[in-house]
């Protein structure tokens, strides 16, 4: 019996926001103007938590540094980011949650608004094969082509997650309606549209608004980092 387990990443499997931490890391090592970038990063992060993020404005800001450096240089920085920032944020409770689904034979997939450059190495650390993320556009389709600073396709945010998930499932010859069980673990009210689509929504380390919504709907609440 095929089952699907979807996981948001930031504040769900990780007790931090990888997009925000990547921005802070770039500011810290002097790749971007520290004061300006830190201030803007904080503004967008607060907008996200309050449910009023302009995703297109944010992505123009977040993807710009990717377009200004080679893929080789970006990988070198990201390797350091993984070791200095992300490694210490990996929690056994989150790894165990993923493994339980994997041991059941479920299809496991991270579905996140954060771009795939930042998140793919993190998702690999969890041993998860599949990732649906916001995709940075490249100058062409050859491997390791430089980034343009634009988005490829639909930003993987709010309702965009539903469309991108449907497209991905179709590529796997599947659909949500075919799956007897589908789980989605998320911390954020921004993910309400997708939480409503699965058979088993789980509010995971939820923000205040999602916690209230889960209580009203009788959804389970999971505290991974309590």
pTM: 0.96
Q: Are residues 49 and 124 in the same domain?
A: no
Q: Are residues 81 and 123 in the same domain?
A: no
Per-residue pLDDT tens for 33-55? 989 988 998 899 899 888 899 99
- The mean pLDDT of 92-107, rounded to a whole number, is 97
How many percent of the chain have pLDDT more than 70? 100
Range of the structural domain that residue 46 is part of = 18-88
Reported as a pLDDT band with limits 50, 70 and 90, residue 69 is very high
Give, in degrees to the nearest 5, the angle at Cα 120 between 206 and 200. 35
Domain count, the chain: 2
| Backbone phi and psi for residue 130, each to the nearest 5 degrees, phi listed first | -100, 140
Per-residue pLDDT tens for 112-169? 999 999 999 999 999 999 999 999 999 987 777 899 999 999 999 999 999 999 999 9
Q: Are residues 60 and 163 in the same domain?
A: no
Reported as a pLDDT band with limits 50, 70 and 90, residue 83 is very high
| Site of tokens 């205040």 | 208
SS3 track for the chain: CCEEEEECCECCCECCCHHHHHHHHHHHCCCCCHHHHHHHHHHHHHHHHCCCCCHHHHHHHHHHHHHCCCHHHHHHHHHHHHHHHHHHHCCHHHHHHHHHHHHCCCEEEEEEEEEHHHHHHHHHHCCCCEEEEEEEEECCCCCCCCEEEEEECCCCCCHHHHHHHHHHHHHCCCCHHHCCEEEEEECCHHHHHHHCCCCEEEEECCCHHHHHHHHHHCCCEECCCC
Give, in degrees to the nearest 5, the angle at Cα 118 between 129 and 122. 40
Q: Which residues contact 47 (CB under 8 A, 6 or more apart)?
A: 53, 54, 58
Q: Are residues 81 and 56 in the same domain?
A: yes
Q: Are 199 and 182 in contact (CB under 8 A)?
A: yes
| Site of tokens 């965009």 | 160
Q: Are residues 70 and 112 in the same domain?
A: no
Q: Are residues 133 and 210 in the same domain?
A: yes
Active site residue 103: no
Q: Which CATH number fits the domain that encloses residue 55?
A: 1.20.1440.100
Please give the mean pLDDT across all residues of the chain: 95
| Choice among 10, 17, 106, 191 that is catalytic | 10
Domain boundary at 88, 113, 148, which?
Answer: 88
Domain boundary at 35, 63, 88, which?
Answer: 88
Domain boundary at 42, 60, 88, which?
Answer: 88
Per-residue pLDDT tens for 178-226? 999 999 999 999 999 999 999 999 999 999 999 999 999 999 999 999 7
Active site residue 8: yes
Q: Are 119 and 9 in contact (CB under 8 A)?
A: yes
Reported as a pLDDT band with limits 50, 70 and 90, residue 1 is confident
Inform me whether the pLDDT recorded for 175 exceeds 90: yes
How many percent of the chain have pLDDT more than 90? 88
Q: Are residues 48 and 107 in the same domain?
A: no
Tokens matching residue 199: 């058979």
Count Cβ atoms below 10 Å from residue 140 Cβ, excluding itself.
8
């Amino acid at each position: 019996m095929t089952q699907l387990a979807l996981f948001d990443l930031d504040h769900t499997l990780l007790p931090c926001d990888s997009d925000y931490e990547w921005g802070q890391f770039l500011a810290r090592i002097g790749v971007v103007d520290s004061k300006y970038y830190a201030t803007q990063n904080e503004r967008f992060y607060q907008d996200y938590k309050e449910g009023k993020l302009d995703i297109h404005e944010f992505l123009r800001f977040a993807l710009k540094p990717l377009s200004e450096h080679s893929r080789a240089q970006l990988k070198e920085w990201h390797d350091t980011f993984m070791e200095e920032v992300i490694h210490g944020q990996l929690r056994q409770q989150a790894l165990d949650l993923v493994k339980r689904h994997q041991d059941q034979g479920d299809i496991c997939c991270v579905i996140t608004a954060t771009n795939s450059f930042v998140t793919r190495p993190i998702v690999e650390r969890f041993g998860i094969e599949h990732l649906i993320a916001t995709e940075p556009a490249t100058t062409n389709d050859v491997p390791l082509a430089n980034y343009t600073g634009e988005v490829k396709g639909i930003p993987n945010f709010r309702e965009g997650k539903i469309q991108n998930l449907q497209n991905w499932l179709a590529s796997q010859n599947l659909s949500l309606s075919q799956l007897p069980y589908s789980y989605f673990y998320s911390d954020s009210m921004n993910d309400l549209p997708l939480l409503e689509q699965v058979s088993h929504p789980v509010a995971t380390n939820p923000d205040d608004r999602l916690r209230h919504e889960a209580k009203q709907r009788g959804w389970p609440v999971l505290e991974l980092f309590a």
